[in-house]
Amino acid sequence: MIRRHAVIFRAVLMLADAGLAATVAVAVSVARFGRQSFADQLAATVRNPELALVAFAVGWVAVLWAHGLYRQRARWTLRGQALDIAQATLIFALGTLAVLFWLKLPDVSRLLLIVLFPTLAVAALATRIALRLFLRVLRSRGRYTRFMLVVGASPRARAFAELVEAHHELGLVVVGHLQAGTEDDGVPLRRPVLGQLEALEYVLHSRIIDEVAICLPLSASEEIDAIARLCEEEGRIVRIPVAVSERTVSRGLLEEVDGVPVYSLVNGPDRTVALMAKRLLDVAGSAALLVLLSPVFVVLAALVKLDSPGPVHFRQERVGLHGRLFRVVKFRTMRDGAEEELEELLHHNEVNGHAFKMTNDPRTTRVGRWLRRTSLDELPQLWNVLRGQMSLVGPRPPLPGEVANYDVWHRRRLSMKPGMTGLWQIRGRREPEFDRWVETDLEYIDSWSFWLDLKILARTVPAVINGEGR
């Protein structure tokens, strides 16, 4: 299975199964004996109840794993899942009875066991149905969805596109195909043809593309290598569905989808557990700070409002992960309508490249200058972090107009979510060369780890206190 997408689904499912196993065991026991009688029965039966409960939950997950219930299938059916869970439940019940006999524990209520194991089976099946429905609803709203472009419009390319989309838990949506030769002519496709192979760079820049699947014949090794190089420069993931003997590139990871070998070239961070930890840190950190700093938000809002006429917040369209557009929110630091005056000030730009910075910008208000120096104007971006549009740590979020003028290598900085702070925040905030900004962002992407994020967050605090803002 494609590891980057499957690990999170499996982890959530395993945690849900373990938690429900423990919950069902306690709930059925309390229903059978009553709360106090259950406590007395448990104390008389097991020396370490907490450890026994953990062992029960882990054992249940292990049996489900052994029966392939965490292996993703393209043709998921309710009947098939129910049969597999029933078989796993029978094995688990026999194993539990064997352990009870081996440990020579006091008599355990037969009625409890009769109710416990069927309830476990129902809970496991209900969990899988609920999780799939939940994912389907989220992805119908565009959440947790990644977009794939298929290079090739042959029957092989069409079959791979359908296989990928059949795995709903992967969250991959095929946006369309690029034709790459005469063998693609006349092949009926369910998805639109977005152009010829020559349009690849245009499509990557004009659409949100997270992954590129190269479905070309072995004879097109030069084209495959050129596509892989371009995607690497732009930070896109490449999938090549081939047999092992058909490898045309020497690096990458061999994975599979329903027995179909997929050669994956992952450009950027791919440590799934660490990326999950990063998102958990973003959610917990932004939620906690929004609550703790709410009095500060009220004071700053009042200062902005009293200092100059206009709205408290400034909202502006920015470019996020792989070209996703979102509206960043900040405290307003310039007079109302300042964006319309930018054209007149471009000749004062202190940055050599695709960004604008001016130390003594005449549009900035008195309170705005202080907010920028202390970076307090960026606090409302915690809302963007909570919504998943940004991260606490990441590259600077650029403007669409800046991205439109990027060189190809600049675009790789869009392969991670933009952040409120980053290496650029603690190292080179007054750097006049745009290329140096990008190099710093790419250094962060190439060396990323969860611990690096923690170090950057720790170093951001003194940078803000010392007033090293722009």
List, in order of start, the domains of the chain with CATH numbers.
3-140 (no CATH), 146-265 (3.40.50.720), 272-465 (no CATH)
Exposed, middle or buried: residue 384 (CB in 10 Å: 0-12, 13-18, 19+)?
Answer: buried
Exposed, middle or buried: residue 280 (CB in 10 Å: 0-12, 13-18, 19+)?
Answer: exposed
CA–CA distance, 151 with 159 (Å, rounded to integer)? 13
Question: Would you say residue 274 has pLDDT above 80?
Answer: no
CA–CA distance, 376 with 265 (Å, rounded to integer)? 39
Which tokens belong to 11? 């982890």
Sign of CA dihedral 365, 467, 390, 359: positive
Which tokens belong to 140? 């119908």
Confidence of residue 13 (pLDDT cuts 50, 70, 90): confident
Confidence of residue 34 (pLDDT cuts 50, 70, 90): low
Question: Would you say residue 38 has pLDDT above 50?
Answer: no
Question: Would you say residue 137 has pLDDT above 90?
Answer: no
pLDDT, greater one: 316 or 262: 316
CA–CA distance, 249 with 225 (Å, rounded to integer)? 7
- Residue 163 has, within 13 A of its CA and on its CB side, a CA count of 19
Question: Would you say residue 315 has pLDDT above 50?
Answer: yes
For residue range 103-125, list pLDDT tens digits in order: 665 556 666 677 888 888 898 88
Query: What is the rounded average pLDDT of the residues 233-251?
Result: 69
pLDDT, greater one: 264 or 440: 440
Q: Which residues contact 332 (CB under 8 A, 6 or more apart)?
A: 304, 310, 311, 312, 313, 314, 365, 368, 377
Question: Would you say residue 258 has pLDDT above 90?
Answer: no
Report the range of poorest mean pLDDT among 79-93, 171-185, 408-422: 171-185
Report the range of poorest mean pLDDT among 193-207, 229-243, 255-269: 255-269
pLDDT, greater one: 352 or 460: 460
- Please state, rounded to an integer, the average pLDDT across all residues of the chain: 81
Most confident of the ranges 4-13, 176-185, 346-355, 403-412 = 403-412
Most confident of the ranges 10-24, 89-103, 184-198, 306-320 = 306-320
Given phi > 0 = left and psi -120 to 50 = alpha, else beta, which region is 214?
beta
**pLDDT (0 to 100) of residue 74:** 46
Q: What percent of the chain has pLDDT over 90?
A: 24
CA–CA distance, 135 with 141 (Å, rounded to integer)? 10
Most confident of the ranges 39-53, 163-177, 387-401, 426-440 = 387-401
Question: Would you say residue 169 has pLDDT above 60?
Answer: yes
**pLDDT (0 to 100) of residue 221:** 81
Query: What is the rounded average pLDDT of the residues 37-64?
Result: 70
Given phi > 0 = left and psi -120 to 50 = alpha, else beta, which region is 181?
left
Cα angle: 179, vertex 185, 186; to 5 degrees: 125
Which residues share a beta bridge with 146? 172
Amino acid 81 reads Q
CA–CA distance, 432 with 39 (Å, rounded to integer)? 68
